Structure 1
């Protein structure tokens, strides 16, 4: 026998031993890990179902006892289990699972299985693969999380880029290269196609989207280079038009807001403040307008000043990494969600806030939620996501007053500033 044959035989014998399941594990948890690993390796749903049946047919104690090997000696007819598949399909599943490394086929002539002779499908390789499977599972979860975050980033970029280009197109003097930027936007894949893009492909696409947004920001910050003197019907600064519209009842220039002492969402009023001829009163009475009626008149600078130091850090990162007291709306939205995610808010709660309160309302609710975590005068918030959902539900009942909460936060920041002085 050659040296290579001796090494191969020794290795083949070694894999027939295992240390059993980790402390505190059982067969069901092991099966869940194997199923997740098979999915990562690209196994079909039918193949994974065959694996589950094989594991369920092995006694649980066989996975914990290193002195015996867990193996399934059931015939292929039993593994079919009325699923409408053929013997050949089961055979292919077994071969695929063996190639993945989850089982070993030790069969007799013509695929015979026998408990007494120790012939069947052995799960020993899977037991020896637990550490690798756990690493693969963690990596898969991390990649899925990054994929979800990239798709969310692309969604925000698409909304801001589309709105900005629409504003540029309405100006009397459009910026140079507008058609190229609009053509690039039209070439972006649809949102439903992003889910099936590879992680590397999605990274490249989002980076290209960021590059386009940076080009737009150059025109936003320096409108005079292409627009000249503003006409009477246009604002002197394009940033005011590109940011989210905020309907306000300050038609006469008078501020009529609740007391600045409030710090919690007020349940005492649901209607807008202001004269009957204001913008809100003349706006169509649809769902979107009823949401916007409850928003205070704020700008990006005020939102940044109200943000906590942690939230400002996230906004700065979203805006390119440098501190900016007047960040873009995209940077504020991205930074707010990043901060809410960091403190344990679910993405579903954030989407519900956007759908109900509009983008600006959700951002303001997020700033208030983040500030509420560090308010020394009130009991600590245990579940920030639940607090944000509570604000959305209060708005659905017509009991949310973001203006009162906004004024309370303004008063709190003013007191903090006085204490520092």
Structure 2
């Protein structure tokens, strides 16, 4: 048998990994589905140790007739596939003049070229995965832009539709590709589209702010960013004493409490049933600058990498970019945006991320915790305000 002393799979890789990689990147090698099927079957019929042993030549010794019968094709079709693999430098044909293969003489289809270039195929697979992951992130970010655009449009008064600038923006918005066609754009075009979408959102919001008589507020029927609605402003302060020990408790210990933190005798509790709103004095906690101070260093760096200004939209984009590092599935983010609004979802991500290093009860599974917060919100038990307050106390602000 011929040996190639320099040929070896990367450490820890086996024949099974070769088959898995070929199955995944076969289309990128211009292999049809049938060709991928044949190639993986041929590889699977070689010796396992020849792939793991340095210098050994993985070889297929079976006859074309026998293998063709196993693959439910003619010998001619199998021969065509083998020649195609040889042209692509996947295998080397080392047979007798009549095409015969013999294990005793080492004659057969040698997969040494594939073994030699497997490291390059691994790099191609990793690159493909990175592109796929980035496209998935961009599609999710486009959904954020789409929601932002619809919220801005909901703020437009009927007479504003007659404005030329507004009409121009809406025409460009109508030209956005559908969500189910984003993947077909490719990475570069999708990157450009998401960037243009952000600019269009900013353009419409700026137009709305400058329109005469514009209140810059969404319609009353439009969903609030957070679950507490601040349209009413009862001036009720809590008359209960403050539990000093709460400063040392984990910030997310209040996730499942929907009411104020005071006892039953607290006047704030008495008023809550009637008002259903948060204390107006706590509104400052939801300012972007305040949230930025409470965020983790990773969150802050992510925001600064995207924007030089600390705005609500920058906070939302930063929360979106933190999903992958935190291991939060995009479906959970979309669900949070649908239930809590984009700002509410951002607050959830920010609090979960900030509490990963909690000295007593760190958040170890942010993805699961976010879904738990969504379920708590559906039950009416989520207290984002209390969570932010707890984080503020732990930060010492």
TM-score norm. by structure 2 comes to: 0.78
**C-alpha contact (below 8 Å) 1:77/1:87 kept by paired residues:** yes
1:98 match: secondary structure: helix
Q: Which residue of 2 aligns with 1:98?
A: 86
Alignment pair present for 1:408 and 2:390: yes
Q: Which residue of 2 aligns with 1:11?
A: none
**C-alpha contact (below 8 Å) 2:92/2:110 kept by paired residues:** yes
- Out of 374, 383, 406, the position equivalent to 2:365 is 383
User: How far does the alpha carbon of each residue in 1:40-84 deviate from its partner, in whole angstroms, 9 at most, with x for none?
Assistant: 324223221211111111111222345542111223344346555
For 2:224 and 2:304, the matched residues in 1 are separated by: 19
For 2:342 and 2:84, the matched residues in 1 are separated by: 48
User: How far does the alpha carbon of each residue in 1:224-270 deviate from its partner, in whole angstroms, 9 at most, with x for none?
Assistant: 3xx23x3xxx63x4589999544535524235799894732437655
How do residues 237-248 of structure 1 correspond to structure 2 at under 5 angstroms? 237=216, 244-246=224-226, 248=228
Counterparts in 2 of 1:71 and 1:216: CA distance versus 1, 3 Å = same
**C-alpha contact (below 8 Å) 1:114/1:120 kept by paired residues:** yes
Shift in Å, 1:397: 5.8
Shift in Å, 1:366: 0.9
For 1:95 and 1:254, the matched residues in 2 are separated by: 83
Count, aligned residues? 373
Superposed CA RMSD: 3.7
For 1:118 and 1:394, the matched residues in 2 are separated by: 66
User: How far does the alpha carbon of each residue in 1:109-137 deviate from its partner, in whole angstroms, 9 at most, with x for none?
Assistant: 57544434544322110111022112212
For 2:289 and 2:329, the matched residues in 1 are separated by: 27
Q: Which residue of 2 aligns with 1:33?
A: 21
Shift in Å, 1:364: 1.7
Q: Which residue of 2 aligns with 1:347?
A: 330
**C-alpha contact (below 8 Å) 2:312/2:343 kept by paired residues:** no
Q: Which residue of 1 aligns with 2:52?
A: 64
Alignment pair present for 1:143 and 2:143: no
**C-alpha contact (below 8 Å) 2:336/2:374 kept by paired residues:** yes
For 1:135 and 1:268, the matched residues in 2 are separated by: 45
Counterparts in 2 of 1:84 and 1:354: CA distance versus 1, 3 Å = farther
Alignment pair present for 1:328 and 2:300: no
User: How far does the alpha carbon of each residue in 1:147-192 deviate from its partner, in whole angstroms, 9 at most, with x for none?
Assistant: 1122122111122123213323546586542112111111111111
Counterparts in 2 of 1:91 and 1:79: CA distance versus 1, 3 Å = same
Counterparts in 2 of 1:312 and 1:218: CA distance versus 1, 3 Å = farther
Shift in Å, 1:278: 5.2
Counterparts in 2 of 1:405 and 1:53: CA distance versus 1, 3 Å = same
**C-alpha contact (below 8 Å) 1:266/1:405 kept by paired residues:** yes
TM-score norm. by structure 1 comes to: 0.74
**C-alpha contact (below 8 Å) 1:103/1:122 kept by paired residues:** yes
Shift in Å, 1:208: 2.5
For 1:190 and 1:138, the matched residues in 2 are separated by: 28
Counterparts in 2 of 1:68 and 1:341: CA distance versus 1, 3 Å = closer
How do residues 288-367 of structure 1 correspond to structure 2 at under 5 angstroms? 298=286, 300=288, 302-318=290-306, 321-324=307-310, 327-329=311-313, 331-367=314-350
Counterparts in 2 of 1:398 and 1:323: CA distance versus 1, 3 Å = closer
**Greater mean alpha carbon deviation, residues 139-148 or residues 337-346:** 337-346
Shift in Å, 1:144: 1.6
Q: Which residue of 1 aligns with 2:191?
A: 203
Shift in Å, 1:16: 6.1
For 2:116 and 2:92, the matched residues in 1 are separated by: 12
1:177 match: secondary structure: helix
Alignment pair present for 1:216 and 2:197: no
Counterparts in 2 of 1:254 and 1:388: CA distance versus 1, 3 Å = same
For 1:160 and 1:188, the matched residues in 2 are separated by: 14
**Greater mean alpha carbon deviation, residues 111-120 or residues 182-191:** 111-120
For 1:70 and 1:120, the matched residues in 2 are separated by: 10
- Out of 122, 132, 148, the position equivalent to 1:134 is 122
Q: Which residue of 2 aligns with 1:254?
A: 235
2:391 match: secondary structure: helix
1:408 match: secondary structure: helix
For 1:77 and 1:219, the matched residues in 2 are separated by: 73
Q: Which residue of 2 aligns with 1:155?
A: 143
**C-alpha contact (below 8 Å) 2:92/2:109 kept by paired residues:** yes
**Greater mean alpha carbon deviation, residues 332-341 or residues 16-25:** 16-25
